[in-house]
Chain A
């Protein structure tokens, strides 16, 4: 058609983003999904435009609404004093499984000297943190069960800074609703403030007594035994406190946001 003008650069970006989202929702295997979504180009979009989206929009909306309702229910069920069980070192799962939306060789390699943890949003002290400064804070350790949304579970040993201590240290507004995370692997997620303040929520810097290795999220991961695996971001580069719902990588594709255990 004559008047169908060329996509502006900005529109093209939005179209691409939307197409990636649609495609990733239809490909189950994480590796395959990552491959497809990353290799999707504008040419690919042109080919896809002929496809019919057969999903029933009404049912999808209803299911999403129930999922949001389930977020509310889970927030009510959540007991800030209920502790996840801890285990003896003999029960640690070896080797602890690697899991991400990409393969193990694609895990980001972060250079420690240049690394800074950025702080944003509703915090009094937003200066960035270097790793030695975080290691100098009071450290704690726990052996807990990691439960994946896929159903499997594994027991691991994480050490680091109690996240509630860290939030106090940066003068975070703990009346805010969300804590959001941006990661070096382009992953992002967010959690409710009450879980952020849970005593077992750790800003993990070590795994099994050693510096957190690259495959488990170097330089740091947020470890919460009260939430499913996809809520535990790895390779964190920025933490922000906000009242605006930040969503998440999987959550924006249909996974439940609260994701609590």
Chain B
């Protein structure tokens, strides 16, 4: 049996809706992060700025236009992902069970180089935690972003975020956490290139 016929018979690792929402989300995150850095530079919270070369928009107004266009893609695509993930049962199948013990066991195995990716249909518990984390982190980015955009109209959300100024820090911290995820995610894809193929072709 050739590799081609084997892969044609194997069930798909990622359904097409998941692959589409994944790449749209990657695009949205890229737009939101790079335009967000330009907005950050207009009034830095901390003692550093992002290099203009890696930012999007050219100036503050341009960055704001990108950010408030990208938000629709991020939020709507994220909503489609969540609804389909829950409705198809994929969320339950692929992300659970998840336990602290399981995460520690798989993390230790990964660090010793003993965690294999033989079965791409099954996430190990570190993956489950990481992917669930990034889903929640993006949800936090959207909510803290809404609190910053509409602190008066969404007063409850503003208070939930600790007020306008705290919401700025929450939004920044959630962005930083997302970057950390992306760094590890890309490193893991480089180590296990088959995962990239599966996210493009489905298997």
Contact residues on B (Cβ < 8 Å of other chain), bracket: 20 to 34
B61 touches A254 (CB 8 A): yes
B60 within 8 A of A: yes
- Decide: A260 near B150, CB < 8 A? Known: A66-B72, A67-B65, A148-B43: yes
Q: Which of A246-261 contact B (CB under 8 A)?
A: 250, 253-256, 260-261
B60 touches A78 (CB 8 A): no
Complex partner residue of A149 from B40, B60, B155, B165, CB under 8 angstroms: B60
B64 touches A149 (CB 8 A): yes
| A residues less than 8 Å from B181 (CB atoms) | none
A151 touches B168 (CB 8 A): yes
CA distance A67 to B63 in the complex (A): 12
- Decide: A66 near B61, CB < 8 A? Known: A77-B150, A150-B43, A261-B151: no
B120 within 8 A of A: no
A25 within 8 A of B: yes
B152 touches A226 (CB 8 A): yes
Complex partner residue of A255 from B58, B61, B151, B164, CB under 8 angstroms: B61
A261 touches B152 (CB 8 A): yes
Complex partner residue of A78 from B65, B66, B153, B164, CB under 8 angstroms: B153
Shortest beta-carbon distance, B36 to chain A, in Å? 10
CA distance A28 to B152 in the complex (A): 28
A63 within 8 A of B: yes
B59 within 8 A of A: yes
Most chain A beta carbons < 10 A, residue from B40, B45, B165: B165
| B residues less than 8 Å from A219 (CB atoms) | none
A84 touches B64 (CB 8 A): no
Complex partner residue of B58 from A26, A78, A256, A261, CB under 8 angstroms: A26
B62 within 8 A of A: yes
Q: Residue-by-residue, is B77-107 near A (CB-CB < 8 Å gives 1, otherwise 0)?
A: 0000000000000000000000000000000
- Decide: A84 near B69, CB < 8 A? Known: A25-B61, A148-B43: no
B152 touches A84 (CB 8 A): yes
Shortest beta-carbon distance, B97 to chain A, in Å? 40
CA distance A235 to B42 in the complex (A): 25
B17 within 8 A of A: no
B61 touches A225 (CB 8 A): no
Q: Which residue of A lies closest to B159 (CB)?
A: A85
B65 touches A66 (CB 8 A): yes
- Decide: A70 near B58, CB < 8 A? Known: A147-B151, A151-B43: no
B68 within 8 A of A: yes
| B residues less than 8 Å from A77 (CB atoms) | 150, 153
| B residues less than 8 Å from A63 (CB atoms) | 62, 65-66, 69
A150 touches B153 (CB 8 A): no
B61 touches A153 (CB 8 A): no
| B residues less than 8 Å from A226 (CB atoms) | 152
Shortest beta-carbon distance, A211 to chain B, in Å? 28
Q: Which of B19-51 contact A (CB under 8 A)?
A: 39-40, 42-43, 45
Q: Which residue of A lies closest to B69 (CB)?
A: A66
A152 within 8 A of B: yes
Q: Which of B124-145 contact A (CB under 8 A)?
A: none
A18 within 8 A of B: no
CA distance A70 to B150 in the complex (A): 12
CA distance A150 to B49 in the complex (A): 14
Shortest beta-carbon distance, A194 to chain B, in Å? 12
A145 within 8 A of B: yes
Shortest beta-carbon distance, A189 to chain B, in Å? 14
A26 touches B59 (CB 8 A): yes
Complex partner residue of B59 from A25, A78, A83, A145, CB under 8 angstroms: A25
Shortest beta-carbon distance, B170 to chain A, in Å? 13
Q: Residue-by-residue, is A57-95 near B (CB-CB < 8 Å gives 1, otherwise 0)?
A: 000001110110010001001110011110000000000
What are 16 A-B pairs at a CB distance below 8 A? A66-B69, A67-B69, A82-B155, A83-B152, A145-B164, A147-B151, A147-B164, A149-B42, A149-B64, A150-B39, A150-B42, A151-B43, A253-B61, A254-B62, A260-B150, A261-B153
New A-B contacts (13) at CB < 8 Å, excluding given A63-B66, A84-B151: A25-B61, A63-B69, A64-B65, A85-B152, A147-B151, A149-B60, A149-B64, A150-B39, A226-B152, A254-B62, A260-B152, A260-B153, A261-B153
